[in-house]
Structure 1
Amino acid sequence: TLECGKPGQLNGVEHARDYLHACLHLAQHPDHPVSPHDIDLFHTVATVKVPEETTFGFGEEEVDIRFEEDLDYLNFRELARGTRIGWIKPGCSNALEVIDEHGNDVLQRYFSFEGGELKLRLPVMPSMLTRDRRVVRQDCLGYLMERYNDHLL
């Protein structure tokens, strides 16, 4: 998958076009493996959803789960363990659903709830995080990716 930004943004379309043009016009494919420092490879490990019964917002709203106001700014940035994503209202135990590619609940693997704060347990790179409430309800809040290092073996 080639991620190129939000739908409808011309710079994303231009990026995809330029990348594909460069690939199609390679003079040759190298015979040697790609150097490990030349590639950062990630794979999607979980989908983050907000349950229908959970109220949510961004910034200063009084809701069950309040995400950072600039949540979408975190997309495609490698975030450290302990990074705060938002706040959980006391007593709201089912504020998020985090499901892996096999349908397993992996909420506890990726998130912790400390003093009302929603924090990452592991370093991840979020993708497609959205502040669009309609998209969150119809699809998901976003995805989590982890660094994939098998190509280094």
Structure 2
Amino acid sequence: MELNILRDIPDVLLTCRPDELYGEFGGPILLEIGHQDQPPLFVSTLLHGNETTGFFALQRLFADYRHHPERFPRPLIVLFGNVEAASKGLRRRDDQPDYNRVWAGGTSPEHQWAQEILHYLKNKQIFAGLDIHNNTGRNPMYGCVNFLNEKLVYMASLFSPHIVYFQKPDGVLSKAMAQFATGITIECGLPGVPEGIDQVYDYLLTLIHLETMQEIHHGSQGVNVYHSRSRLMIPDNFSLAREESPDAEQADFVLPKEFDQWNFSELKSNAVLMRRNNPKGFLIVQNESGDHVQEEYLEFHGSEVRLRQSTIPSMFTRDVAVARQDCLGYLMDRLK
């Protein structure tokens, strides 16, 4: 895989759309600007090609830098990831690996590319690393940490009081970065929403001007830290539809209209998650150890899929393609 390394902001980057990056650059881009003595801030966006909020926030930041570089006290390194998928408005192409699952090592060109970037960032001794994402379902803005480290929690709390601690899935960029720097993920709501772009832009300015990374405990007042314990998935051999879709009556599983409205709210035991038309259909719930634990979480009553225990959903999505490529969402509980 080719990686374009740029030392200055090209004019086109100030005006283009995310779906035009591939046509302009032909592949992922690593941009490094600023020459100050401070350790750089690293920011990644478009690891999933249809998650565009980070791109638009950075574009605004680049315009600021063009006019007032003296207002940027530390250098900035930016990765634009799966620009090929972005050209099609996709999370990833079907023949590609997920660009946020390749950071733990492997043999594919994408895995080797990821290791080259990590090596580059280690050598740069970055101040902090930030990977910017969007959700396909309705969620509040929140930060994600892979370790209950006080600096990670502090960095996430500067973005949102809602913080998710997770260990799975493997191969995410934030977990790889956290081995050698303060590195987190932020989830910024639905793609391209102005409020999300504004909040990410403000957060980037905060990090650029931050002198030191303080420490706060995950149980501190003012932050809500959740533990993402399990992942809800549909097997490939079962079909899925939204309840308003024309194919809903023929689908094995049917998602209600309110499915993604439950994110970050507690669902009690016996709550109905969705409808099952196929009596032989089943869902998979996978915990952090990779074990299938659906019997602990789910039960069937006629055509209803119900919860056996209370849980707090996150990233529940009604996007059938994303549910197929990734998952239906995650099941959490609140850390005390």
Q: Structure 1 length as normaliser, TM-score?
A: 0.78
Aligned pair partner of 1:106 in 277, 293, 313: 293
User: What count of residue pairs does the alignment treat as equivalent?
Assistant: 148
Shift of 1:117: 1.0
Aligned partners of 1:22 and 1:68: how far apart in 2? 39
Shift of 1:33: 6.5
Structure 1 counterpart of 2:286, which letter? I
Shift of 1:32: 9.1
Aligned partners of 1:31 and 1:143: how far apart in 2? 27
Q: 1:34 to 1:133 in 2, by over 3 A?
A: closer
Shift of 1:90: 4.9
Shift of 1:36: 6.0
Match of 2:71 in 1: none
User: Is 2:223 aligned against 1:45?
Assistant: no
SS of the counterpart of 1:87?
strand
User: Is 2:273 aligned against 1:89?
Assistant: no
Match of 1:75 in 2: 263
Identify the range of structure 1 (101-110 vs 82-91) with the bigger mean alpha-carbon deviation: 82-91
Structure 2 counterpart of 1:134, which letter? A
Structure 1 residue ranges without an equivalent (≥5): none
User: Is 2:312 aligned against 1:128?
Assistant: no
1:17-39 superposed Cα distances (whole Å, 9 cap, x missing partner): 4456567878x999997876633
Aligned partners of 1:107 and 1:35: how far apart in 2? 29
C-alpha contact 2:253 2:274 (8 A) present in aligned 1: yes
Structure 1 counterpart of 2:258, which letter? D
Structure 1 counterpart of 2:277, which letter? K
SS of the counterpart of 1:41?
strand
Q: 1:7 to 1:22 in 2, by over 3 A?
A: same
**Bigger radius of gyration among the two:** 2
Structure 2 residue ranges without an equivalent (≥5): 1-143, 145-185
User: Once the two structures are aligned, what percentage of the paired residues are identical?
Assistant: 33
Aligned partners of 2:293 and 2:257: how far apart in 1? 24
C-alpha contact 1:57 1:66 (8 A) present in aligned 2: yes
Structure 2 counterpart of 1:55, which letter? S
Aligned partners of 1:145 and 1:74: how far apart in 2? 12
Aligned partners of 2:191 and 2:312: how far apart in 1? 20
In the TM superposition, 1:12-27 aligns within 5 A as: 12-19=196-203
1:80-132 superposed Cα distances (whole Å, 9 cap, x missing partner): 2222111122522x421110111000111111212321112222121111111
What RMSD in Å do the two structures reach over aligned CA positions? 2.8
Structure 2 counterpart of 1:120, which letter? L
Q: 1:103 to 1:144 in 2, by over 3 A?
A: same
Match of 1:10 in 2: 194
Shift of 1:3: 3.0
C-alpha contact 1:127 1:144 (8 A) present in aligned 2: yes
Aligned partners of 1:52 and 1:39: how far apart in 2? 37
Instruction: Looking at secondary structure, tell me which structure has more helix per residue.
Output: 2
Identify the range of structure 1 (68-77 vs 135-144) with the bigger mean alpha-carbon deviation: 68-77
Q: 1:32 to 1:12 in 2, by over 3 A?
A: closer
C-alpha contact 2:312 2:332 (8 A) present in aligned 1: yes
SS of the counterpart of 1:131?
coil
Aligned partners of 1:32 and 1:57: how far apart in 2? 43
